[in-house]
Structure 1
Amino acid sequence: MNNAIITGATKGMGRAIAIAFATEGISLAINSRKADELDAFKTELLTINPAIKVFTAVADGSNKDQLLQFAKSAEQELGTINIIVNNLGMYEYSRILNDGDALFQKMFNTNLMPAYELYRLFGKSMIAAGNGHIFNICSVASLNPVVDAGTYSVTKAALLSLNNVMRLEMQEHGVKVTAVIPGSTLTASWDGQAVDKDTMVLPQDIASAIVNIYKMSKGANVDQIIIKPAGGQL
């Protein structure tokens, strides 16, 4: 059975990806800082597919020690982790010159560090097995910086760069790496703003793309996929 670890899985894109994988029969490891969220979501996932296993842990994914403890426990409970979805992220509307003193470190720890650490933790075992798939949820800001979200743009560009290094390191070993680059997607980042969901990418669109990429033949890899609103960025 295939086992996936998904960071930031109880909301938004991560939640939709977890549901899509559960539907496909893939067992899951998910974390959150809120135990009640985890318990409710675990119940929902097992209702969708009682045949899978769901490992949960109360852990802050932006805290290196908690992240690694969660990941190691997930492997002990589920077995080999062969899918990683680096979805955890945060958006802050701020120009760099107006950033608070702690914002860069917070953004780095949320948007970049988890992908780096999970890669280092599981990468060699994926190489030894000769299979696996890593998905890194980047952003169109990885390609075209948003000046009003400067540090977000920097950390997401760094994530895309990390993704590309991962792919080059892994491609000779049969391990796939894909950068998923969403445009304006209806997640909690838009809370408090008046938006029309029919003009946006939905989390389910991202999940559908990831599942279809994962199900491709052994010889095919999608290096990166950009999914933007049909009418253009909001």
Structure 2
Amino acid sequence: MRNQFSARSLPAVVAVASLALLSGVTGCASEKGAEAGAGAKTGGRVVGQQDLQGLEMHVVSDAEATTDAAAATAVEPACVPLAKAQAFWLPGSPVTKEWSKAVSKPLKPEASDEERLEAYGKGLADTTTRIALGSYEGNGAKEAFALLKTAADACAGGYTDDFPTTIGPGAAVTGGDEALSYEMRFEVVGDEGPGMKITTKLVVVRKGGTLAIFSAVNEIGVAEDPRAIVSVQLDKLG
């Protein structure tokens, strides 16, 4: 059967960095700043551990964000921006970029190596929410938002052959100047026919010249609603 898959075997939209559970580090990173260590305050505008105490926040390096975005693709060219948006990609030419990642079931800092290995094995049951924050000049944020809306409208029927996808409206998001919310449903098709069903959630919010993208993924089921994280991030933007 083909329903056993790695984080890269779904489109990068559905990739969860389970290996981060083994690192035991928390924080966030920006394109113009160093990574924050465990318990450190981020210093940037993207949400970090100091903002979301109920979740485990993970460091996202420039290299990780760039690699994930580069790997994300879609069968239909018009759908590529939507696929990449779920993998730390920010459209257009943001002046600054920041990334963070929240895991819904944090691992205790004092966990043993055996417990960390066990957590890695079970990590697919967690929801990981990727957060990408970009600041733009002029109408850059408006244009980036419009690009993603156009892609979602064009790709309602899905954008991958290997894993049939449908895209529909997600739970309404309030706050910011403009907001989009989508649910994307994947059905993993194996040699024996349809198999695992996965629902990811994508929220895009523009607030002034800032664009924030939230991609919630659970590789074995339905991702948790990211709106609580969205609300905290918008509050932090002021």
What is the TM-score normalised by the length of structure 1? Answer: 0.32
What is the TM-score normalised by the length of structure 2? Answer: 0.32
Higher strand share: 2
Higher helix share: 1
